[in-house]
Amino acid sequence: MIKATRLVVAAALVGVSALAASAQENPECIAPANPGGGWDFTCRQVGKSLQDLGLIDKTMQVVNLAGGGGGVAYAEVVNKRGDDNDLIVAASSATATRLAQGAYPGNTMDQVRWLASVGADYGVIAVAADSDIDTLPALLDEIKADPTSISIAGGSAVGGWDHLKVLIAANAYGIDDVRAVKYIAFDGGGEAVTQLLAGSVQAFTGDISEAKGFVDSGDIKVIAVLAPERLGGEFSEMPTAKEQGVDAIGANWRGFYAPGGMSDEAYDAWVSKIGELYASDEWKAVMETNGLAPLDLQGADFQAFVEESVAKIQSISKEIGIIK
């Protein structure tokens, strides 16, 4: 009888261990946009770093599931993959924005579990390298004179975070009706920059990690970083909006959510792994290379942070007139 009891206890312990380990058996990350944007960067860079650090045993499978400013991916997770212990999804301020504005029909933030942040990505406004526009006020002056003359591309849906950043800048510059600003939405920052380079639009709004590769290649020039002061290192040459007289700040947090029915053991395992990743020297180097600012939140702290983000963005959206 004692032996049988021990076997039952041992089996239970093995079961718990298996559940905790399951968070890395077939790791998958959904990037809710096409390749080349911030969500795609988050999945691929975090997946690579987790494997390099030995925190997952297998290569992270990255699935690009674009549409609806992240809404297609959100619905997929909520409706079809609600108990998947191996799945994480890249999220950001863009996700919080769409949730704040009720743009994921029938979906709310409490239908998923919020895992952890991996940093904050400051917003940028950029133009093609050969553009005659060299400053943010010059761009905004053209919009003031004729709103139809400037189209701005972004990787979030209309009313989403990329759109909101431009409206915040326009509002700060004294453009009375920010709804006149012509914004064109694409499924990801990479696609938006491609349209800029093709000449289909005159400016791009996104995040510094999305823009970096195109700056390095000489294709675009950043005319404003939406940070309180200039960033360090190789980003120090990029002017802020604030130093140009436009008091606009926009930091895009980056992190992950998981299916709402994920087991506590798997959830805790993912939170632990992402926490270890964030604390590593390897991730600090990734953050510095890509212009990410510190934002270290896991588990319940990250959940509370997202709740606060949704509430704040809802307030801004009402103030600017995106929602009632």
CATH number at residue 210: 3.40.190.10
Band the pLDDT of 157: cuts 50, 70, 90.
confident
**Both 136 and 245 in a single domain?**
yes
Domain co-membership, 62 together with 136: no
Is the separation of the CB atoms in 188 and 92 below 8 Å? no
pLDDT at 216 over 90: yes
Q: Based on the fold, state whether residues 139 and 192 are members of the same structural domain.
A: yes
Residues 187, 225 share a domain: yes
Are 112 and 142 within one domain? no
Tell me which residue range forms the domain holding 154: 131-249
> Is the residue at 194 inside a domain?
yes
Q: What is the mean pLDDT of residues 180-202?
A: 94
- Is the pLDDT reported for residue 319 higher than 80? no
What phi and psi, each to the nearest 5 degrees, are found at residue 277?
-60, -50
The pLDDT tens digits for 75-105 are: 999 999 999 999 999 999 999 999 999 999 9
- What does the pLDDT read at residue 3? 42
Q: Are residues 138 and 167 in the same domain?
A: yes
Burial label for 261, CB within 10 Å (0-12, 13-18, 19+), is middle
Asked whether 143 and 177 are in contact (CB, 8 A), the reply is no
- The reply to whether 40 and 78 lie within a common domain is yes
For residue 35, with 0-12 CB atoms within 10 Å meaning exposed, 13-18 middle and 19 or more buried, which class applies?
A: middle
Looking at 22-70, list the stretches that DSSP marks H as alpha helix, in order from N- to C-terminal side.
38-52
pLDDT, residue 178, reads 86
Q: Is 1 inside any structural domain? A: no
In a domain, 14, yes or no: no
Indicate the number of domains in the chain.
2
Q: Would the pLDDT of 18 be above 80?
A: no
2 domain residue, yes or no: no
Q: Is residue 6 part of a domain?
A: no
Verify that 70 and 146 share a domain, yes or no.
Answer: no
Closest of 150, 145, 158, 139 to residue 182, by C-alpha? 150
* Burial readout 149-163 (b: 16 or more C-beta within 10 A, e: otherwise): ebbbbbbbbebbbbb
Q: How far apart are CA 85 and CA 62, in angstroms?
A: 15
Q: What is the pLDDT confidence band of residue 119, given thresholds at 50, 70 and 90?
A: very high
Indicate whether 241 and 99 sit together in one domain: no
Segment 172-179 shows an average pLDDT of 89
> What value does the mean pLDDT take over residues 120-132?
96
Tell me, yes or no, whether 114 and 258 share the same domain.
yes
**CATH number of the domain encompassing residue 93:** 3.40.190.150
pLDDT > 90: what percent of the chain? 75
Is 52 inside a domain boundary? yes
For residues 63 and 172, membership in a common domain is answered with no
Residue 191 lies in a domain: yes
Residue 12 lies in a domain: no
- Which of these three, 249, 272, 303, is where a domain ends? 249
- Shared domain for 289 and 196, answered yes or no, is no
- In degrees to the nearest 10, what's the CA dihedral of 141, 185, 40, 279? 50
